[in-house]
Amino acid sequence: MLYELTEEQRMLQDMVRRLAREQIAPGAAERDRKGEFPWDMVEVFRENGLFGCDFKEEYGGSQMGVLAYCLAVEEVAKVCASSSVVLLVHELGSMPMLLAASDQQKKKWLPGLASGEHLIAFGLTEPGAGSDAAGIRTVAIKKGDKYIINGTKQFISHADVAQYVCVACKTDADLPPHKGGLSIIVVEKGTPGFAIGKKEDKMGIRASTTCELIFEDCEVPAENILGREGDGFAILMKTLDFTRPCVAAQALGIAQGALDYAVAYARERQQFGRAIIKNQGLAWMLADMDTAVEASRQLVYKTAAVFQEISKDLSKVPREAIRLSAMSKLMAAETAMKVTTDAVQVLGGYGYVKEYPVERMMRDAKITQIYEGTSQVQKMVIASCL
């Protein structure tokens, strides 16, 4: 399948590029230094309707689709990866609802999410369940018209600022998670028995908050379950199929941002009486970086275009799309790590200090090889499609 950006997508791309330059880039270093959740960026995204890009018009969105969302994420990530996580986590947390909520649930939850009035988080990972998504131990036992949740989630992005968290729980101890043992339940902020635990002090994406969730006899209305009891594993896997291209777009943006900076620097920086870009060793390094970034872009946009098509009928994600989703994330994340590391090399000593942005970009790039499935998990997924 071939894609071509539409007029509407190009306009969005230009708009976010301008926002990134004028309103997001200037505070990026300080956001990284402070390590506080960027509410001012949330406001910028709200004002410009970015949260609702991938939501249907009937729920208050602009229905522009996954590719448009990826374009927005890429532009923001070029200048500030932390700020782009706000958009990523919104898509990740909303996706189980977009995929599996009833019409009534959608009417209740989606408009507030489409406008960005409410934020949402995704609660899968636990101390003993990360790559092994089936290893979840948090339990939800049905009692009357309630589920009682007990367990701990770990490394959950933005749960401390979210109105809702989609929590993956075991609802049947006797059934394997992939065979009906797992469900997704929406827990609202302030529900008694739901507390935020330890907040992580991270290497990168420092303005994005990451925390532990503690559920102690947390009572949630049974009507907050997404789909039917036991649908959880399939919803989780489909969610990740849809959102991995968005992480790939983030990685792509980080890589492009670092490449642009390194090229501009190499054209200016004089050593041995000439601009360092004239040295073949560095010129070839920049050529390799540019090639990898462009290859990643093609894969990310193609994958997003494929998912845009699929989203017209969400009943099944074809194997070819699962394969592309994992490939786009793998390729873009590996490229981001390599390109940002090489950008630091191009800047030499200046690359290693916080006065220049490539140091931050290199730290930010690392997470793209880890979250929403490590690069090794992506290879497992790709291999399983062969």
Residue 385: CB minimum distance to ligand COS, A = 9
Nearest CA-CA partner of 250 in 364, 374, 123, 373: 364
Residues 6+ apart with CB under 8 A from 180: 172, 229, 230
- Among 6, 102, 131, 376, the residue binding ligand COS under the rule CB under 6 A is 131
Helix, strand, coil percent content, the chain, rounded in steps of 5: 60, 15, 25
Q: Which stretch binds ligand COS (CB under 6 A): 13-21, 62-70, 126-134, 257-265?
A: 126-134
Instruction: Rank residues 135 and 221 by Cβ distance to ligand COS and give the closer one.
Output: 135
Residue 143: CB minimum distance to ligand COS, A = 28
Nearest CA-CA partner of 241 in 309, 318, 184: 318
Residues 231 and 221: their CA atoms lie apart, in Å, by 17
User: Which x/- pattern over 259-298 shows residues binding ligand COS (rule: CB under 6 A)?
Assistant: ----------------------------------------
Instruction: Using the structure block, give the residue that is written with the tokens 């001012």.
Output: 40
Q: Which of residues 148-207 bind ligand COS (CB under 6 A)?
A: 178
Q: Which of 126, 212, 334, 372 is catalytic?
A: 372
Does position 381 interact with ligand COS (CB under 6 A)? The reply is: yes
Q: Which stretch binds ligand COS (CB under 6 A): 25-33, 209-217, 275-283, 378-386?
A: 378-386
CA 174 to each of CA 171, 179, 227: distance values in angstroms, whole numbers, following the listed order: 9, 10, 20
Does position 372 interact with ligand COS (CB under 6 A)? The reply is: yes
- What one-character-per-residue DSSP string does 217-262 give? EEEEEGGGEESSTT-HHHHHHHHHHHHHHHHHHHHHHHHHHHHHHH
Nearest CA-CA partner of 254 in 296, 305, 303, 287: 296
Instruction: Using the structure block, give the residue that is written with the tokens 């994406």.
Output: 205
Does position 240 interact with ligand COS (CB under 6 A)? The reply is: yes
Q: Which residue is nearest to ligand COS (CB)?
A: 373
| Conformational region of residue 218, where left means phi above 0, alpha means psi within -120 to 50, and beta covers everything else | beta
- Do the beta carbons of residue 268 and residue 275 sit within 8 Å? yes
Tokens, residue 23: 């309103």
Q: Which stretch binds ligand COS (CB under 6 A): 22-30, 145-153, 217-225, 238-246?
A: 238-246
Q: Which stretch binds ligand COS (CB under 6 A): 107-115, 232-240, 275-283, 339-347?
A: 232-240
**The residue count for the chain:** 386
User: Which x/- pattern over 311-330 shows residues binding ligand COS (rule: CB under 6 A)?
Assistant: ------x----x--------
Backbone angles phi, psi at 101, to 5 degrees: -70, 150
Q: Which stretch binds ligand COS (CB under 6 A): 192-200, 211-219, 237-245, 274-282?
A: 237-245
Instruction: Using the structure block, give the residue that is written with the tokens 């249907």.
Output: 56
Residue 124: CB minimum distance to ligand COS, A = 4
- Residue 122 Cα to chain centre, angstroms: 11
Residue 381: CB minimum distance to ligand COS, A = 5
- Among 175, 283, 314, 380, the residue binding ligand COS under the rule CB under 6 A is 380
Catalytic residue status for 126: no
Nearest CA-CA partner of 158 in 150, 166, 149, 168: 166
Does position 238 interact with ligand COS (CB under 6 A)? The reply is: yes
CA 343 to each of CA 55, 122, 336, 338, 348: distance values in angstroms, whole numbers, following the listed order: 36, 33, 10, 9, 9
Does position 242 interact with ligand COS (CB under 6 A)? The reply is: no
- Among 75, 241, 342, 359, the residue binding ligand COS under the rule CB under 6 A is 241
Residue 231: CB minimum distance to ligand COS, A = 12
Does position 125 interact with ligand COS (CB under 6 A)? The reply is: yes
Residue 229: CB minimum distance to ligand COS, A = 17
List residues binding ligand COS (CB under 6 A).
124-125, 130-134, 178, 233, 237-238, 240-241, 317, 322, 371-373, 377, 380-381, 384
Q: Could you list the active site residues? A: 372
